[in-house]
Amino acid sequence: MAWFLPRLLATIVALTLGGALGVLVGALLKAPAIGALLGAATGVGLVVLRDALHAGRLIRWLRDGLIADAPRDAGLWGELAYRIERALRSREQALAAERQRLGEFLSAIEASPNGVMLLGADDQIAWCSAVAADHLGLDARRDLRQPVTNLVRMPAFVSYLQEGAWREPITLEAPGGRGMLQLAVRGYSDQQKLVITQDVTERLRAEAMRRDFVANVSHEIRTPLTVLAGFVETMASLPLSTAERARVITLMQQQTDRMQVLVADLLQLAQLEGGPRPPADRWTALAPLLQRAAADARPLSAGRHQVEVDAPDGIELAGLEGELLSAVVNLATNAVRYTPAGGHIQLNWRLRADGQGEVEVRDTGIGIAREHLPRLTERFYRVDGSRSRDTGGTGLGLSIVKHVMQRHGGSLEVDSEPGKGSRFRLLLPAGRIRQVTPVGRLDEPASTV
């Protein structure tokens, strides 16, 4: 109210001065009363004119969007402009804070691997995250306020949305055959809908793989079991000669061996999947490791192949010796099993220019056609099922090798040509390889390659 008294005074002064001047001028014209009235009216008019000028400036400032500061007048208009400016600025700050919070909230939704879409009345898109737009083949900006039912080319989604009973999510193929999507809808507020989209391609693939795996294991176990059951029945129901009995027992032995190998491989796979990461500071000498793998493969070859090792002394590998040995043995025994008699099998070591180490198992065997190469490490994948089984294979060897290498930060490479032989390479990262001097081997390592 600081403006009130000055303003009252100014009005009284204008009235009084105007009236007094009017009296003087009126006296000259012999009409002092009319002069006083006109003088007072002129005084008040001047006050009103001044107000109109101030009000005009204030209105101009408001109309121009508050770009500059408010007009800095004294008195009532100054006070009014100041109060309006303060109220507007604090409203603006609150709005900016709200906008920032909303932005952060939307960024958090955008960061989710799931897509989110908000639909208003008539299923118009009120907001759509980039992930949801990608899942549904929409443009998050261009398609705003468009009915989603006109844009999404998925009839199952459209009828699900319109059904109104969204207790269970639906799973359907993503537009353009880009995998599988799961969509869930929830209603909120008045006729608003929240649509959540999720890419479930990987999950469904993993579930299918698990199902296949269980089916494969059951099949692999059922086959020898059926054979065994047949032999048991034969022995129980038929009088067999000693020679026949011995033959049946040998065949039964083969089937139980097969089951034992299968169960051992399955257990090893399970251990590899659940086991702790191989230590990076437990060192194993390379040359003896390759010699042992060759020694394991030679009885299987029974002299039908030439099995050779070429590995320098003084190289050590970091990791779990048992796992590394099992990877090399798997490759070496495969080389024997898939190489006809008279073939040559070589176990080599090479240090690559990029520092990686390479254990190569090379054979001159039957080789593998190009189209099979990407699938070799799948569980139970066999190029030739009967040859694999006849030679005691479980179809799990290469998936064990792949797991071992992955756990050691390495990988498995294969080059092969039908009729010309195969080259399987175990690659180990530079950090898991070191060179020790022959003397230093008993003490500390001399250097890491």
List residues near ligand ADP by CB under 6 A: 334-335, 338, 363, 365-368, 376, 381-384, 388, 393-399, 422
* Rounded least distance, CB 301 to ligand ADP, Å: 13
Residue 66 · residue 85 · CB < 8 Å:
yes
CB 352, min distance to ligand ADP, A: 22
Q: Which H/E stretch holds residue 159?
A: helix 155-163
Q: Is the CB of 181 or the CB of 404 nearer to ligand ADP?
A: 404
Of 324, 312, 428, 338, the closest CA to residue 391 belongs to: 338
CB of 284 to ligand ADP, least distance (A): 23
Residue 55 contacts residue 63 (beta carbons within 8 Å): no
Helix or strand (DSSP H, E) at 29: none
Could you tell me the two tokens for 153? 């080319």
DSSP string for residues in 49-100: HHHHHHHHHHHHHHHTTS-SPPP--SHHHHHHHHHHHHHHHHHHHHHHHHHH
Nearer to ligand ADP, 54 or 379 (CB): 379
User: Least separation, in Å, of the C-beta of 297 and ligand ADP?
Assistant: 11
Q: Of 197 and 422, which has the nearer Cβ to ligand ADP?
A: 422
Q: Which is nearer to ligand ADP, 275 or 385 (CB)?
A: 385
- Buried-exposed string 120-133: b where 16+ CB fall within 10 A, e elsewhere: beebbbeebbebbb
Q: Decide whether 61 or 338 has the Cβ nearer to ligand ADP.
A: 338
> Which whole-number Å values give the CA distances from 36 to 7, 12, 286, 315, 408, in the listed order?
22, 14, 121, 120, 108
Kindly state the smallest distance separating residue 152's Cβ from ligand ADP, in Å. Answer: 43
Q: Which is nearer to ligand ADP, 135 or 258 (CB)?
A: 258
Rank residues 129 and 334 by Cβ distance to ligand ADP and give the closer one. 334
Tell the smallest beta-carbon distance from residue 268 to ligand ADP (Å). Answer: 12
Question: How are beta strands 344-351 and 306-310 bridged, if at all?
Answer: parallel
Residue 271 vs residues 164, 253, 266, 275, 403: alpha-carbon distances, Å: 48, 27, 9, 5, 10
| CB atoms near residue 421 (< 10 Å) | 22
Q: Whole-number minimum distance, CB 391 to ligand ADP, in Å?
A: 7
Nearer to ligand ADP, 205 or 420 (CB): 420
**Joined tokens for residue 434:** 């070191």
Provide, rounded to whole angstroms, the least separation between the CB of residue 294 and ligand ADP.
15
